[in-house]
Structure 1
Amino acid sequence: MYLNISNDSLQSFHNMSGEFKPKVAIFQAIVIILFSMAIIVCNVVLIMAVLRTPNLHTKTNALLVSVSLSEVMLGVFVMPFIASLLIKPSLRFSSGLCDFIAFMTSVQASSRALSMFSVAVDRCVAISHPLQYNSCITRKTITLFAAIVWILSIIFAVFPYINVGKYSFLTVYGRCMIDYHVSSVFAIVKEVTCTLVPSIGVFITFVIVITEARSHHRVTMIAQLAIAMYSGPVRGVNYTRSTFKALRTYLVISCIYLFTCFPRSLYVISVSANQRHSNSLFTFFTFLTYICSISTPLVISTLNIKFRQSIVTLFESKNKVNPISDYEPYTISTGLHTILEHSMVFKCVPNKDQKFSKMSSFREPVAGPSRQLPIVRFQPRRVSVLHEAQSSSSSGITVMKPGHAVLRKTLSSPS
């Protein structure tokens, strides 16, 4: 059974495509095919890196896998059919195949936007409430996020099968998709719910993350000053590390998403509302979404050392993934480091009355696979600025470490 396309519509599509076929249409088809292959390869490699590396089995990475799955759907089920119609405009799909292509197109667009919004919420909680992150964002929360993303995407994609909305072959665009002219109300509701609102949410969380990042940067500056005043300058510990540099992965992928996918959503809503379309604008915005689909895995694998090391090990001869010795308690994909995440070595100077053959040391892993462990010495000397730090001879110093471990060491006050 073939699609019922009127001869006038089919002829207009042939004429429209024939004008560009010698130079533009064939070129567009080749570019789409190359983009499709690159999107599939890059996102599958990212998914394999997460699945095969135990250190990458984290909550945010689960949401990133959801984003990559939606991009793989685009490269496998949508783009090849678009390229085939550009190469051969007279090609006609059956109604069942056309509905399936439109269904996968709807699911992919909705799941991408909702998955990006879930990643943005996760990062926003991680930087704005780092101490409450593990209690707020749990495995159940991530499972709920992923379930909502895909269930909502599938529900809106199923509606046209029950006569709420309509899938058809739009001759003006040369592809199977939701008919914006026949079911304009459904198209607007679907686009607002599954794309526009999540995109606005990504922008709002983006602003919150930047604001909180500035606050974290000021906190690290004050903490470094306090430690330097009490124990002197510490070599090897850089508390003034730019938080924006640590957040570059999340900031970059969010900016790319907002500049590439958000305009297409606005265009679809505008076309559904006023019934005015432009094939050139639609093609331009569609190519922007292809850039978004391939840039997300490339940015993550380039700027995040964990993903980069894991991807490299995937192509080794033994194909064995070695564990990556990196410590990021509040950060999974962005590399966020606050003052609580910097690890130090506390070397306690024993009292004369205590008989130690060696000084006691407490070590904690430092973020980064090749950094040396710095040493912070708390000498029993009086600092005029921090009188409160010196207590009586029986006072104790409690050091809080990430992981909720508490180390106590009793130090006598200076004579």
Structure 2
Amino acid sequence: MDGLGGEELLCYPQLLNSSCRALNLMVIISISHFRQRHTPTNLLLLSLAIADLLVGLLVMPVETARLIETCWLLGDLMCALSYIFGFTLTSASVGNMVLISIDRFVAICYPLQYSNKITRSRIEVSVCLCWACSFLYNGLILKDHLRKPNRYNSCYGECVVVIDYVSGTVDLVITFIGPCSVILVLYMRVFIVAVSQARAMLSHITAVAGGAVRVTAKISERKAARTLGVVILVFLMSFCPYYYPSLVGQDISNSVSSWAIVSWLLYFNSCLNPLIYAFFYPWFRKAIKLIVTLKILEQDSSDTMFI
């Protein structure tokens, strides 16, 4: 029975990790291979997918091993580095989501100025800054663990990381409350502008076609509202359990009994991002078909045009 229990414990993380890698790899191939997809918006999606893919390749296997084997075998320094790397990828993922919301805000609210405001070079600089700031920021948060990696260990073979209340509160604002507020405000603005534009167009439609168009507009509004709700709900569901100790004035520690659930919810966000930010694009679904059927291996497949 013990062996069966261990297999059941391992099954879910393995399945989740494989799905994360596959989905994010599809996004990376789709954007990198097809030249038509080399747009500023898709560069942001590419950066997000790379961060989430690295979570699936490097962070989730370590967390899976931690669930199976209670004794940490990679040394104290690797214990601290593994968390710095994992938190850096998570912060970079959140930063990219904020950049995507800014991109969509400019595209919908200022369409005539979009090409001047959102250029490839500005996006590249923004992405580089996002990654660099994520690395430096998380290095500062966990700098004490780098200086003395075993400071919280009670015995040899432990890997205990503790983020004190002050650092946790700062992280709560910078990585959770701030980005969530920006995403919510910008997407709400996008939703309001999109709805007002759709309703303005209805005034120019003839009375004969008005009924059908009005129904279509209402459906579009519901889809936009549902997408906004999904973005915010997934963000809150993934990050709230992790930041709960900071919200109630406690330290964040990976030694608590609930850490397995908290960490997997946090990293689960990396699996859902491709579905939220890429899969609902028609061009992406078409690209997946070309990838799965190996048509991308054909000559000049990179020049495929998506309508």
Partner of 2:293: 316
Which of 260, 266, 277 is the matching residue for 2:237? 260
Q: Equivalent residue for 1:86?
A: 67
Please list every run of 5 or more consecutive structure 2 residues that lacks an aligned counterpart in the other structure. Answer: none
Q: Supply the distance in 2 between the matched residues of 1:119 and 1:296 (Cα, whole angstroms).
A: 12
Q: Tell me the residue number matched to 1:192.
A: 173
For residue 45 of structure 1, the aligned residue among 19, 26, 30 is 26
Report the Cα offset of residue 268 of structure 1: 4.8
Q: Does 1:131 align with 2:112?
A: yes
Alpha-carbon separation, structure 1, partners of 2:62 and 2:261 = 18
Specify whether residues 128 and 41 from structure 1 end up closer, same or farther in structure 2 by C-alpha distance, changes over 3 A only.
same
Structure 1 residues 402-413: aligned runs within 5 Å: none
Q: 1:73 aligns with which of 35, 47, 54?
A: 54
For residues 197-208 of structure 1, the aligned pairs below 5 Å read 197-208=178-189
Q: Give the alignment partner of residue 289 of structure 1, picking from 266, 269, 288.
A: 266
What's the counterpart of residue 280 of structure 2?
303
The answer for the alignment partner of 1:251 in structure 2 is: 228
Letter in structure 1 aligned against 2:23: C
Matched, 1:119 2:100: yes
Conserved? CA contact 1:71–1:108, under 8 Å: yes
Deviation, structure 1 residue 250: 5.5
Pick closer, same or farther for the CA change 1:166–1:244 going to 2, 3 Å.
farther
1:176–1:76 distance in 2 versus 1, CA, 3 Å: farther
Say if 2:125 is the partner of 1:144. yes
The answer to whether the Cα contact below 8 Å between 1:221 and 1:240 also exists between their aligned partners in 2 is: no
> Within 5 A, what are the aligned runs for 1:169-180?
178-180=161-163
Bigger relative CO (Cα 8 Å, ≥ 6 apart): 2
Q: Residues 33 and 164 of structure 1: is their aligned pair in 2 closer, same or farther, counting only changes over 3 Å?
A: closer
Read off the aligned partner of 1:73 and give its amino acid letter. Answer: L
- Greater Cα shift, 63-72 or 135-144: 135-144
Higher helix share: 2
Aligned partners of 1:256, 1:32: CA distance in 2, in Å?
22
How far the C-alpha of 1:315 sits from its partner, in A, is: 2.6
Q: Matched residues in 2 for 1:167 and 1:80: separation?
A: 25
Between stretches 256-265 and 203-212, larger displacement belongs to: 256-265
1:123 Cα offset (Å):
0.8
- Secondary structure at 1:131's aligned position in 2? helix
For residues 300 and 137 of structure 1, the distance between their equivalents in structure 2, rounded to whole angstroms, comes to: 18
Match of residue 44 from structure 2: 63
Larger gyration radius, structure 1 or structure 2 = 1
Q: CA deviation at 1:88?
A: 1.9
Distance between the aligned counterparts of 1:50 and 1:249, measured in 2? 25
Give, in whole Å, the separation in 2 of the partners of 1:291 and 1:97: 23
Unaligned runs of 5+ in 1: 1-20, 327-415
Q: Which amino acid aligns with 2:162?
A: D
Q: 1:239 to 1:74 in 2, by over 3 A?
A: same
Name the count of aligned residue pairs. 296
Q: Hey, what's the Cα distance between the residues in 2 that align with 1:214 and 1:141?
A: 29
Cα distance in 1 between the residues matched to 2:148 and 2:274? 31
1-structure distance, mates of 2:176, 2:160 = 16
For 1:175 and 1:216, locate their aligned partners in 2 and report how far apart those are by CA, in whole Å.
Answer: 58
Scaled by the length of structure 2, the TM-score of the pair is 0.81
Q: Check 1:94–1:285 CA distance in 2 against 1; reply closer, same or farther (3 A cut).
A: closer
Counterparts of 1:175 and 1:56 in 2: how far apart (Å)? 46
**Matched AA of 2:241:** R
Q: Distance between the aligned counterparts of 1:269 and 1:213, measured in 2?
A: 37
* Aligned equivalents of 1:64, 1:124: Cα separation in 2: 15
Aligned partner of 1:373 in structure 2 is: none
Q: Deviations over 1:42-74 (max 9, x none)?
A: 101111110011221111111111111111121
TM-score, normalising length from structure 1?
Answer: 0.61
| Between structures 1 and 2, the one with greater strand share | 1
Per-residue displacement from partner, 1:218-238 (whole Å, max 9, x unpaired)? 12212334xx8xxx979xx99
Report the more deviating stretch, 46-55 or 198-207. 198-207
Choose the corresponding residue for 2:138, options 139, 157, 167. 157
The percent of aligned pairs where both chains have the same amino acid is: 21
1:389-400 to structure 2, matched below 5 A, reads: none
- 1:270 match: 247
Aligned with 1:190: secondary structure? Answer: helix
